[in-house]
Every structure is written in structure tokens, then in C-alpha cells.
Copies of this chain bind each other. A is one copy, B any other.
Amino acid sequence: MSAQNPHPTMRDVADLAGVSPMTVSRALHNDPNVAPSSVSAVLAAVDRLGYRRNEAARVLRTGRPHDLLGLVITNLANPFYAQLAVGVERFAAAHGQRVVIGNSADDPGRERELLDDFRSQRVSGLVVVPSGPDQRHLAPDVLDGVPVALAARPPRGVDLDCVLVDDTGGARDLTASLVAVGHKRIGFIGLPTTSWAGEQRLDGHLSALAAAGIGADADLLGSTDRLAGTAEDVARRLLALPRPPTALVAANNRITVGAYRAIRRYAQSTALAGFDDLDFADLLGQRLTVAAYDPALVGETAAALVLDRLRSADSTRQPARRRRIPVVVKQYRTLGDDPAVDVVREQS
């Protein structure tokens, strides 16, 4: 209860319990070869002193890493990555591991700093959303065997465990859902093509068109590079074409919102489909189709890959594994679609 010695050690506990430090250590590790009477004496002393094992000493002595996972994320403020972090934390906690988080802000230099830090801390494993063009600095030999899994982006320049979203399949299904209801001129607003997801989602879109026998019209392919302007600008430009599209596909949630703005203003009959779920989708005055998946599952799966490697002895020898997170297409109706709309008051 009362704090006198700020950090009592095993010695202190041992003295109070009238045993040796070794017995304390054993008792605290649930070693069966300790007399019950000793155990209770130790526990009592621990309680009285407020003793807490010094992790640093334990780590130093055993040479084993902390039960600590390092998570390097590009942007915790983005709900997608926040959810991913939730998934990592959840899985880690369920397996007795803590999580240290670092924000790389998509800066490869900062990413390296964080990795350095984490390794100095002797983390037992790493989950990384990589930011640079290449991940050779994450190769098993340079990491001295600390297991790592990439999340949301694929390894480049080296083969590593990774968890990816089914971008291509999701985008294909999204576009296919528009084709299925008769759309033939479908505009696409993509991410910068330098981004992995951007490339994949464009591929998916194009393959859906090809499968439907619709020729790709270059005029209908927009993207939100820095030059092209905001998603809303790009959408507006597409809607202003001589032969405008009857539907728009947006490559992520932010783009979907931009496209929505443009549609509401300039061409309200245009259909809209977007990658990523929107939790306020039913509040919009527009039907919306989305390609949805569970970002937390990405984190959970990545953590699972890391912990799995941690458990298996010859971790370094196993080949890199890939996991793919499924994407499903969902339709949202608007509030206005509800037959009950405008029924006004119930009683009154």
C-alpha cells in the first residue's frame, strides 16, 4: 500500500518472505517445485511491498525479447489505419503481447528511425505498413530474424509475409455491379498510379469492363494525381464530357465523397460506386454501391502471421506467406428510398 522504497526488488521480497531471491523468482513463475507455504509467503510480501518485476532486468538476463510488438503505421489519423491498429492490438492482447505504435507519416526515413527504435527495444515482432519504394531494410537478415509482416502494401525488392486487401477483385466486382444494371459508359476516378492500391483497383475496373465486352475509353479514366486536382474536379470534368458517363466508380472513400459532391451538383442521375465503406452512406441523398472490407482484419491477420513465426522455431526458413482480405460489394439505399418517408408524425 504505502510507497516507501520506490522500486522494491526481488531481494526485498525475499528478505521479507524469509526465503532466497531464487525462490521468489520461481514462485512468481508458477514453478511447481516450490512449497505452497513459500509461495504464499512470497505472494504476501509482494503484495505488501507493491513489488513488480523489472522487465528490463528480465529481458537482459534471458536474452529473449519483450512480449512487445512494434507497429509502424503511415497515418493513425486515417480511420483505415486506426482500425488496422485496433486489429493488431486486439490480436496481440489476446496473445499476451503489448503493442508499441509509431507513426511514419509515410516518410521512409521516419520509418527507419522507428524500426531502429523498436529493435533497440527488443520487440519480439513487427507489423509494418511500408512507406518507401522498397523494403530491403526489412529483409530477415538485416532484421536479425525479428519476424515482420507487412500490412496493406506488398513487399518490394524482398519477399516478406504480407496481408493485402483484395483490391483487384473488389474493384472488379464493383464495376461489374454497375455493368449488371445496364451501365455501359462508366467513369473511373483512380488514385495516383504510383500507389499499389491505385494500380490494383484500376486493373480490377478494367478487367470488369473487358469481361463485359466494353471497350475502355481513355476519356473516362480520371485520377487524382496532384496535377489532376481534387476528386470533385476530376468528377466534374468527367460529367462535363460531350458523352458523359452514366455511372462513376471512385477508387477510395475520399474520392467517393468528392464524386458525390460533383454528382449532386451537376448530374444527379449519375450512379455512384466507390471503394471503401462509408459509415454514413445511407444518409446521402443518393444510392451508393461500395466495395467494403474489414480494416481491423488486416491488422489481426498481420499480427497472426508475426506471432505464428514467433512460435515456430525455424521461423526464418519458412517461405513468405500472403494473406488476402476479402472485399464484398454492398448496396446502400438512401433514407429517401424508405417507403415510410414523409409519413410524418406517429400519434400527435
- Write the residues of chain A forming the contact surface with B, with a CB cutoff of 8 angstroms: 1-3, 6-7, 50, 52-57, 59-60, 66, 68, 76-77, 79, 82-83, 85-86, 89-90, 93, 98-103, 116-117, 119-122, 141-142, 144-145, 236, 239-242, 244, 257, 260-261, 264-268, 278, 280, 283-285, 296, 335-336, 338, 340-348
Contact = CB atoms under 8 A, between A and B. Distances in A.
B52 A60 contact: no
B54 A236 contact: no
B144 A6 contact: yes
Nearest to A146: B6
A244 B6 CA distance: 61
Contacts of A121: 55, 66, 68, 98
Contacts of A101: 85, 89, 99-101
Given A56-B60, A56-B122, A265-B335, 5 more contacts: A1-B142, A2-B141, A52-B116, A236-B346, A240-B347
Contacts of A345: 239-240, 244, 266-267
B60 A57 contact: yes
A278 to B, nearest CB: 8
Contacts of A79: 79, 82
Contacts of A278: 280
Contacts of A347: 240
Contact of A283 (B77, B240, B261): B261
Contacts of A244: 345, 348
Contacts of A85: 76, 82, 101
Contacts of A284: 283-284
A100 B98 contact: yes
A309 to B, nearest CB: 16
A117 B98 contact: yes
